[in-house]
Amino acid sequence: MPLHPVVQAIWDRVQSTGFKGYASIELAAARAHFSQASKVFGPGPEMYGVREISIPVDGGAIGARLYLPSESPAGLCVYFHGGGWTLGTLDDFDTLVRTLAARIGAAFLSVDYRLAPEHPFPVPVNDAIAAVRFAAAHLDTLGGSGPLAVVGDSAGANLATVAALELRGEIDIALQVLFNPAVDTDNTRPGFAAYGSDYLLKAADIEWFFSHYAPKVDPAEPRLAPLRTADLTGAPDAWIGVAEFDILTEEATAYAAALKAAGTPVKLNRYDGVMHGFARQHGIVDVADRAVSDAAEALRTALAR
């Protein structure tokens, strides 16, 4: 099917500005563009409480933002934002996190992991693992109870699933929710040719992100490309949402199949008419809104077990 009419209208406006992808501009300009574009999503729902948290990590501490939708949240979700490991702030994903927290009734801890190129691989991975460990160790003070869940978008979904794999057998993770996850390093997939030039996330952007994040890392390194993990046995249950017009959909679909083959219950959902990063458009695109509701329902069910 064609792009959703609202998505097409947004994309037309973006292209009319002359924007040709993040790889075409300097890093500082890319970060500013990403944050400016995030303002179109508007404010999210009001929360019972929002507070800033400090998480100890190797080399110091990172920030995080705790969202409490009520006095007694129904569990805790640890969230990792997208942006190719180089872009993005807590504010850029504030609306989406608030919406998920409100729809689930669960607390959300949105993690301000360190970004490349200032902090290349494996720093963001180690930050993600430390954040999930911190959340599990402080459930009572963060508003959670019982198991927790991890949630991520794009590069953040990469960090969420890598942390979930790393912590197998150590922490009870009820569900991993992955929106258009980056899970491999193979740029020869057909989707790179089909969707790598004319849509939001371009093949050149992928190369640009990796050049900042992991320029000298073996592409088969499983903490970079979790699809390359030799044994996925014991991975937490997964909900994966992919877009019709997205360069990453093939690898995300392959990851869902690999998890399922390893015995992990997986729900793979494809949303037609949308592009990469669609979840943040939930307030303006009905398909994206349905995706966020689907993810929220999966999380609510998993956290209630």
Annotated active-site residue in 94, 127, 205, 246: 246
Query: Residue 217: which residues within 8 A CB-CB, separation 6 or more?
Result: 121, 224
Nearest CA to 248 out of 82, 46, 48, 45 is that of 82
DSSP-assigned letters across all residues of 48-80: SEEEEEEEEETTEEEEEEEEESSSS-S-EEEEE
Task: Identify any residues that bridge with 63 across adjacent strands, giving them in sequence order.
Answer: 54, 112
- Distance separating alpha carbons of residues 164 and 159, to the nearest angstrom: 8
Helix axes 155-166, 123-137, angle to 10 degrees: 60
Annotated active-site residue in 154, 184, 212, 282: 154
Q: Where are the alpha helices (DSSP H) in 172-248?
A: 190-195, 203-213
**Structure tokens given for 61:** 């501490």
- Specify whether 276 is catalytic: yes
- Specify whether 70 is catalytic: no
**Structure tokens given for 228:** 């390359």
- Distance separating alpha carbons of residues 129 and 290, to the nearest angstrom: 30
- Distance separating alpha carbons of residues 26 and 23, to the nearest angstrom: 8
- Specify whether 154 is catalytic: yes
Annotated active-site residue in 119, 212, 276, 282: 276
- Distance separating alpha carbons of residues 203 and 94, to the nearest angstrom: 27
3-state helix, strand, coil in the chain (%, to 5): 45, 20, 35
Query: Residue 133: which residues within 8 A CB-CB, separation 6 or more?
Result: 167, 170, 171
Q: Is the separation of the CB atoms in 110 and 59 below 8 Å?
A: no
Catalytic residues: 154, 246, 276
